[in-house]
Amino acid sequence: MLTFGLIAYEIAHDSAIEKEKHLLKGIVKVESSYLASHFKRTPSLDNLQTYLSNGVNSDHLSLLLNNNGPLLIPALMDIENHHQTFPLKKILTEKTPDGQVSIDGKLYLWVKLPISGSPYDLIHIFRSSYQISTPFSSLAARLVAVGIFILWVAVWVALIISTAVTRRLKAQNDALEHQALHDSLTDLPNRTLLHNRLEYAIKSAKRDKHQVALIMMDLDRFKEINDTLGHHIGDLLLQQVGIRLTKNLKKTDTISRFGGDEFAILLPKAELSHARLVANRIIKALHAPFQLEDSSIEIDASFGVALYPQHANDCTTLILRADVAMHLAKSTDNEFAIYDQDKDPHSLARLTLTGDLRHATEHNEMVLYYQPKVDIKTGFILGVEALMRWQHPQLGQIKPDEFIPLAEQTGMIKSLTLWSLRAAVKQCALLHQANYPITVSVNLSASILQDLQVPSQVMAILNRHNLPPRYLELEITETTIMKDPQQALDILTRLNHLGVRLSIDDFGTGYTCLSYLKQLPVDEIKIDKSFVVNMLNDENDAMIVRSIVDLAHNMGHKVTAEGVETLAILASLKEQQCDKAQGFYFSPPIPYDELEQLLASSMYGATKNIATMLRPVN
């Protein structure tokens, strides 16, 4: 602004000088007219000089110039002294009739006009009262100053515009960054942001020597909600779930929508006990019904947790293992599960085992072991339960508890079940030919009870080996039945119509309601061994056994007790009128060759009895 003020001052200064110059022209014009008339009356140079000499002082000077040549005709005065005062030589060399010059910081104005009727020009020199003393006196300097000022204004305008644009771009970039790192439906952090924060949490935990917990959560029956009420209600539910999760977590925790109905919860500094506490708090929060438009919805969820550094040392592996734990919880009907390497289908050992399992039946590595079922009243072996064993070429014999869950997770359980059905029916038919008309029991998985082709496949296997359907017994657990009760009821009814016997295995450990149990076309109920083993020492177990026996008999079903390991237990079961017993007291699971020897032994078999074994307690 100071520069602009100086320029304005110089413009006013120039205007004043121009006014002086205009006034000087007027004076010179009057003098020239007067001298012309004077010269006309008295054409004498001396008269002109005499007139002009009267006007000479320190501020102005009037001269005559012969316009026929450069010769100066001085007035009657000491022209040399005036040379010191006025810039005569510089002015006389100028070709313009008027102008201004600056000498030693002083400004001089001059005007030249011809004297009419004479050969002379009148030159009037006048020292201005204004001085040229500022940096902006010249036009170039002023142009430079104006340019600087304009540049200064332009820079400020550019800065203002740039600031506004920068703020707008920053807002747009922040919005784009938020969009890239958050879920569009719930506005929760997405898996990218979760991954970044988890990496940072692991680095901090590695430095400070503490634990990191990652919880994976998946809503149960979410697909049913979408299919029944529509995706719009499903979206509203996910948004409300996100809100409830956020309210039950600390600001330092991260809740992320991982995809679909799956959420991830990062606890950057937490042990297993704290992870359990958080999961229980969320479970409680989710139990309250969700009011969505006109619908009231209740949901459950499955939680899986994995910890750094116990279960994984990097971000990606920790996420995978928390997901494995969550699916384990869902598959076992539990709300919460901790990562277990032995149950991880993605661990190196299990991946190797999975590949081997795919070829086990093709390479005759699967065999059946049999455990007898004994009629407590008669002592006869009425049947056997077929149990699969895997003879692994490197690992040796692998029990069902180790590979059946793996087969269920990988979808190979159906092929293994059909293999065991074919092998059991074939060997049962061979026993019949050897005059041992016993029943063979085979366990069915949940996936088998969802396959409508199973009844026809079972009948085809029976026909192939000419085994009457009543000698095949299929065992199903309560949990298996309750996966899809209606579908299970349909398939069990069709199997029953074929003449196949049906048994509920591990009874007492599941959630079968009595009204549903009454509809099932089953022939037998097997009491889970966990109640039988301790029935003599635990009154609660004894009461459960008695109740199951009475319930089954009242419903017209036979009862088999598993886990019979002592004679005392067998005697107690006989007193309670239990029908059959199975356990290590009679025989552990044995291969087919040993089963033939057992049936042919003199102690007990299909035609022998064990009545004498009960005499000591009678």
Q: Name all domains of the chain by residue range, CATH numbers in brackets.
A: 2-137 (3.30.450.20), 191-344 (3.30.70.270), 360-617 (3.20.20.450)
- Determine how β-strand 106-114 pairs with β-strand 98-103: antiparallel
Closest CA to 379 of 580, 616, 602: 580
Distance of CA 242 to the CA centre of its chain: 13
Amino acid at residue number 375: D
Query: Which residue type is seen at 526?
Result: K
**DSSP annotation string for 455-507:** HHHHHHHHHHTT--GGGEEEEEEHHHHHTSHHHHHHHHHHHHHHT-EEEEEEE
- Locate 486 and state its tokens: 């209606």
Q: Which of 444, 522, 520 is nearest to 480 (CA)?
A: 444
- What is residue 77's predicted lDDT score, i.e. its pLDDT? 40
Q: How far is CA 240 from CA 285, 297, 462, in A?
A: 11, 11, 53
For residues 589 and 584, what is the distance between their CA atoms, to the nearest angstrom?
Answer: 8
**Residue 100 CA to its chain's centroid (Å):** 81
Q: How many CB atoms lie within 10 A of CB 130?
A: 14
The reported pLDDT for the residue numbered 153 is 81
CA angle 464, 465, 467 (to 5 degrees): 115
Report yes or no: 125 and 143 within 8 Å, Cβ to Cβ.
Answer: no
Cβ contact 610:604 at 8 Å: yes
Run of H or E including 415:
helix 413-433
Q: What does each C-alpha distance from 305 to 62, 256, 346, 357, 392 come to in angstroms? A: 110, 15, 16, 28, 32
- What distances in angstroms separate CA 353 from CA 16, 328, 365, 403, 409, one per listed residue? 106, 18, 13, 8, 13
- Give strand pairing partners of 338: 305
Residues 6+ apart with CB under 8 A from 307: 211, 212, 213, 214, 271, 272, 275, 339
Measured between alpha carbons, how far is residue 19 from residues 16, 24, 130, 137, 600 in Å? 5, 9, 12, 17, 145
Per-residue tokens: 414? 């159906």
CA distance 45 to 22: 28
How far is 74 from 78, CA to CA, in rounded Å?
A: 9
Which structure tokens are listed for 616? 């000591």
User: Largest alpha-carbon pair distance within the chain?
Assistant: 182
Question: Can you tell me the distance from the alpha carbon of 572 to that of 592, in angstroms, rounded to the nearest whole number?
Answer: 30
- Tell me the two tokens of residue 304: 């899986």
- Tell me the CA distances in angstroms from 193 to 197, 199, 207, 248, 257, one per residue in order: 6, 10, 21, 20, 10
**Which ranges of 310-381 would DSSP assign to H, the alpha helix?**
315-331, 348-360
**What is the spatial distance between Cα 493 and Cα 522, in angstroms, rounded to a whole number?**
9
**What's the confidence (pLDDT) of residue 618?**
34
The span from the CA of 266 to the CA of 510, in Å, is 33
Give me the average pLDDT of each 10-residue run along the chain (618 residues). Answer: 52 67 74 70 63 54 63 46 57 71 73 78 74 54 68 82 78 70 86 88 91 92 80 88 89 86 90 90 89 83 92 86 87 84 67 76 86 90 92 85 76 86 95 92 83 90 94 86 77 91 81 66 89 90 91 90 92 93 92 90 49 37
Q: Apex CA 489: angle with CA 488 and CA 490, to 5°?
A: 90
Token code pair at residue 365: 């590595």
How far apart are alpha carbons 174 and 178 in whole angstroms?
A: 6
Counting every residue, how long is the chain? 618
Fill in the DSSP letter of residue 182. Answer: B
Residue 46: what residue type?
Answer: D
Full-model pTM: 0.50
Q: Judge if the upstream peptide bond of residue 309 is cis by omega within 30 degrees of 0.
A: yes
CA–CA distance, 115 with 31 (Å, rounded to integer): 9
Task: Tell me the pairing of strands 366-375 and 590-591.
Answer: antiparallel
Q: Taking a C-beta distance cutoff of 8 angstroms, is the pair 351, 325 a contact? A: no
Crossing angle of helices 191-208/139-181, nearest 10°?
90
Which helix or strand (DSSP H or E) is residue 151 part of? helix 139-181
